[in-house]
């Protein structure tokens, strides 16, 4: 009888210990993962005729930068693990060859488990594109360096490589959807807005807007999509930061993830596909702007307004797209 009691007590003790161990199994286990990023699709061009006489052209940038301010993984039980935050924000420069493994973004010990989603946020995308800048002779900016440097002696567009920055979140005087060009140098940048339209009237002759306050209206900007940007283009309580979530398709977004399980150290790779990520309409009827490159310029309506034909100094319909994102384990 005593043997039976001792056996039962031992069984209960073993069961209790096993239960305790089972509850703690994996609860504190972490594994180191490395997050890299790589860009693909640089330097390609696609052309289709959308609406005669305008031809739709998709180009890919020759170099690419991205300021990532937030990146988090989500486990299948809802746990979110932050890999990048404001204090560890990374400006990724994809210029030139970065190799198959991409650029280093973060390294961190994360809980083991299966991860099914991710979130990320970035302030801007920065790209180099072959382009020219064009204005009518009466414009205040006819003698601007960006204009004169991108035309030959005969006045025809002679494009060069210039840096365009596209804002997806607020940064100082720059707002969501802003598209600006560097009118300075790489060492001393001067980011300026460009007007959509010019009027041949006093005070409205400038194409480039070099100022500390945001112009808010009438500038060349990024694609319009309220579901993606929110009701407003400013950062406030009702229009929060743009967060890219895997699986989201708003604004043409294509953010994917290949579900992965980590039990040993692994490397993750976020691929940024910029193929045909900048679209514009090029005049295909013997225009000086039908040259296979991006020609920035305004339209203008002759004075008196509404009585003359609208003319375009350059291409039209500038529409930068979001790159495609895909996260997978190497």
Q: Quote the pLDDT of residue 9.
A: 40
Q: Is the peptide bond before 218 cis (omega within 30 degrees of 0)?
A: no
Taking alpha carbons only, the member of 146, 132, 138 closest to residue 191 is 146
Task: Encode pLDDT of 270-286 as tens digits.
Answer: 998 888 888 888 888 77
Q: What is the CA radius of gyration of the chain?
A: 27
Residues 6 or more apart from 306 whose CB is under 8 A from it?
none
Mean pLDDT of 234-250: 74
More confident residue, 299 or 182: 182
3-state helix, strand and coil shares in percent for the chain, rounded to the nearest 5: 10, 45, 40
Asked if residue 321 lies in contact with residue 166, where contact means CB atoms within 8 angstroms, the answer is no
- Model confidence at 47, pLDDT cuts 50, 70, 90, reads confident
Model confidence at 11: pLDDT above 70: no
Burial class (CB in 10 A: 0-12, 13-18, 19+), 194: buried
The region, left, alpha or beta by phi > 0 then psi within -120 to 50, assigned to residue 301 is beta
Residue 232: pLDDT band (50, 70, 90) is: low
Mean pLDDT of 33-42: 88
User: Region 303-322: what's the mean pLDDT?
Assistant: 78
Specify whether the CB–CB gap between 246 and 297 falls below 8 A: no
Look at residue 239 in the predicted model and tell me its pLDDT: 56
Rounded alpha-carbon distances, angstroms, from residue 198 to 137, 174, 213, 298? 12, 22, 19, 6
- Write down the domain spans for the chain: 29-329
Q: In what order do the strands lie in the sheet with 310-312?
A: 197-199, 299-301, 310-312
169-183 pLDDT per residue, tens: 989 899 989 999 999
Give the per-residue pLDDT at 13.
37
Q: Yes or no: say if 279 and 155 are a contact pair by the CB < 8 Å rule.
A: no
User: What is the rounded distance in angstroms from the CA atom of residue 86 to the CA atom of residue 22?
Assistant: 37
pTM above 0.85, yes or no: no
């Amino acid at each position: 009888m005593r043997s039976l009691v001792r056996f039962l007590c031992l069984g209960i003790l073993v069961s209790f210990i096993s239960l305790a161990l089972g509850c703690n199994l994996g609860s504190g286990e972490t594994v180191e993962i490395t997050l890299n990023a790589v860009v693909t699709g640089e330097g390609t061009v696609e052309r289709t005729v959308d609406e005669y006489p305008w031809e739709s052209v998709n180009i890919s940038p020759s170099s690419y930068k991205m300021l990532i301010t937030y990146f988090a993984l989500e486990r299948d039980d809802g746990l979110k693990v932050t890999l990048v935050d404001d204090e560890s924000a990374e400006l990724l420069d994809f210029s030139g060859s970065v190799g198959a493994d991409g650029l280093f973004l973060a390294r961190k010990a994360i809980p083991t488990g299966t991860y099914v989603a991710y979130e990320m946020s970035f302030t801007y995308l920065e790209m180099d594109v072959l382009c020219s800048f064009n204005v009518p002779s009466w414009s205040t900016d006819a003698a601007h360096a960006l204009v004169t440097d991108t035309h030959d002696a005969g006045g025809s567009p002679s494009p060069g490589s210039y840096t365009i920055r596209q804002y997806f979140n607020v940064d100082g005087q720059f707002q969501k959807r802003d598209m600006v060009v560097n009118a300075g140098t790489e060492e001393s940048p001067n980011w300026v807005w460009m007007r959509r339209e010019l009027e041949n009237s006093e005070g409205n002759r400038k194409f480039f807007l070099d100022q500390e306050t945001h112009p808010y209206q009438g500038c060349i900007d990024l694609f319009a999509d309220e579901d993606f940007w929110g009701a407003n283009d400013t950062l406030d309580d009702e229009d929060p930061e743009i967060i890219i979530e895997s699986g989201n398709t708003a604004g043409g977004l294509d953010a994917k993830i290949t579900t992965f399980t980590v039990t040993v150290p692994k490397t993750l790779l976020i691929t940024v596909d910029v193929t045909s990520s900048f679209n514009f309409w090029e005049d295909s009827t013997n225009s000086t702007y039908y040259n296979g490159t991006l020609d920035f310029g305004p339209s203008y309506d002759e004075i008196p307004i509404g009585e003359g034909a609208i003319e375009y100094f350059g291409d039209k319909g500038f529409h930068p797209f979001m790159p495609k994102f895909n996260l997978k384990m190497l």
